[in-house]
Amino acid sequence: MRTAHPLIARLEREIVLTPADRLSVNEVPFYLQDFKAGEGPSWAGDQPRRSFVILEGLLSTSKTMRDGEVQITAFHIPGDMPDLQSLHLEVLDCDIGALSNCVLAFMAHSDLRGFCERHPRLAAALWRSTLVDGAIYREWVVNVARRQALGRLAHLFCEMMARMEAAGLAAEGTCALALTQAGLSEATGLSHVHVNRTLQDLRARGLVSFGQGQLTIHDWDALARLGEFTPDYLHLRSAAPAL
C-alpha cells in the first residue's frame, strides 16, 4: 500500500525534505489512474489541466510526422513528471504515451500552482527537474544526430541504466525496460533492421542482453566507452541539504 505522497519522491531527487516540507506536500490532492500500453495520457494539441507523477511503468514523449513516422524524444520512468511544462504552457506540443501498463498520480494545475506559490523552495526543486529534462533532450539530439548506430544504442542503454539505478529500480546491472526493437528504432532514428543488427553486435561483444522487457549490462565500462557516455548531463546527485 502506498503511504507517501507521489510528489515526495519527485522532490527528493532534488532536495532534502524537512518534516514541514512533507506536510506541505500533503496539501496537494491527487488521484491515481491506470493506463495500458499504447494509451495516453496526453496528446499533442491537448490543453492539460493536470500534471502527473509516474508511479509504475514506462512512458515516452514523442512527435508524429504527417506520414505516420514517430520520433521518440524521451523515455520516462517512475518518479518522473513528464508533463510539468504544461503547468505554464497551455497547449501540449508532443504525445506522452504509455509503453507498458502504468499507474500515474494526477494533480490539478490549480493545486500545483497554489503549492508553488506557498512554498518557493519546493517550487525551485520542481523547476530544477525541468532544467534536467532540458539537459537530457540536448544529449538526445547529439546522440541521434552525431553518433553511429553502435554508439547510439550503447549511449541509450547506459542512460536508462543510470537513471534506473538512481531511482532504485536496478540491481546488479539489470533493470526492467519494456521496450521493443520498434521503440528503439523510434528513439534512435535507426531502421528496424539496423536496430536488430546493432543489438546482435552488442550481444556478440558481450556487452548487453536485451529482451523480454529486461536490460542487462555485462560490461559497463566498455559500453560507456562505445557510447561516449558520461552521466554528467543527468545531474544525478545526493539531494542538497535543507536550508
Whole-angstrom distance, CA of residue 192 vs CA of residue 131: 32
Q: Are residues 121 and 172 in the same domain?
A: no
Q: Are residues 190 and 113 in the same domain?
A: no
Q: Rounded mean pLDDT of 2-20?
A: 89
Q: Rounded mean pLDDT of 156-183?
A: 97
Residue 237's pLDDT is what?
Answer: 72
Q: Are residues 163 and 52 in the same domain?
A: no
On whether residue 115 sits in a domain, the answer given is yes
pLDDT band at 240 (very low <50, low <70, confident <90, very high): very low
Percent of the chain scored above 70 by pLDDT?
Answer: 96
Q: Rounded mean pLDDT of 181-210?
A: 98
Q: Are residues 54 and 173 in the same domain?
A: no
31: domain range? 6-138
How many other C-beta atoms can be found within 10 angstroms of the C-beta atom of residue 159? 20
| Domain containing residue 65: CATH number | 2.60.120.10
DSSP state of 45: T
Element (H, E) at 42: strand 41-42
pLDDT band at 241 (very low <50, low <70, confident <90, very high): very low
On whether residue 1 sits in a domain, the answer given is no
Grid coordinates of 229: 557516455
Report how far apart the first and last C-alpha atoms of the chain are (Å, whole number): 31
Q: Rounded mean pLDDT of 217-243?
A: 85
Instruction: Respond yes or no on whether the N-terminal peptide bond of residue 41 is cis (omega within 30° of 0).
Output: yes
Residue 242's pLDDT is what?
Answer: 44
On whether residue 176 sits in a domain, the answer given is yes
Q: Rounded mean pLDDT of 184-212?
A: 98
On whether residue 240 sits in a domain, the answer given is no
Q: Are residues 108 and 180 in the same domain?
A: no
The alpha carbon of residue 235 and the mean position of all alpha carbons in its chain are separated, in whole angstroms, by: 13
pLDDT band at 4 (very low <50, low <70, confident <90, very high): confident
Q: Are residues 185 and 123 in the same domain?
A: no
Q: Are residues 154 and 81 in the same domain?
A: no
Q: Are residues 75 and 15 in the same domain?
A: yes
On whether residue 128 sits in a domain, the answer given is yes
On whether residue 242 sits in a domain, the answer given is no
Q: What is the DSSP string of 43-59?
A: -TT---SEEEEEEES-E
Residue 243's pLDDT is what?
Answer: 38
Does residue 10 have a pLDDT over 80? yes
The alpha carbon of residue 72 and the mean position of all alpha carbons in its chain are separated, in whole angstroms, by: 12
Whole-angstrom distance, CA of residue 158 vs CA of residue 156: 5
CA distances 123 to 36, 80, 93, Å, are 31, 15, 23
| Domain containing residue 168: CATH number | 1.10.10.10
Residue 239's pLDDT is what?
Answer: 43
Does residue 45 have a pLDDT over 60? yes
On whether residue 234 sits in a domain, the answer given is no
Q: Are residues 11 and 119 in the same domain?
A: yes
- Give the bridge partners for 71, in sequence order: 63
For β-strands 170-171 and 95-98, DSSP reports them as: unpaired
Residue 181 identity (one-letter amino acid): Q
Q: Rounded mean pLDDT of 101-126?
A: 97
CA angle 211, 216, 217 (to 5 degrees): 130
Provide the domain count of the chain: 2
On whether residue 236 sits in a domain, the answer given is no
Residue 167's pLDDT is what?
Answer: 94
Residue 2's pLDDT is what?
Answer: 60
The average confidence (pLDDT) of the chain is 95
Q: Are residues 124 and 103 in the same domain?
A: yes
The phi and psi torsions of 148 (rounded to 5 degrees) equal -75, 170
Q: Are residues 123 and 29 in the same domain?
A: yes
Q: For the chain, what is the radius of gyration of the CA atoms? A: 18
Residue pair 198/150 in contact (Cβ under 8 Å)? The answer is yes
Q: Are residues 19 and 130 in the same domain?
A: yes
Residue 77's pLDDT is what?
Answer: 98
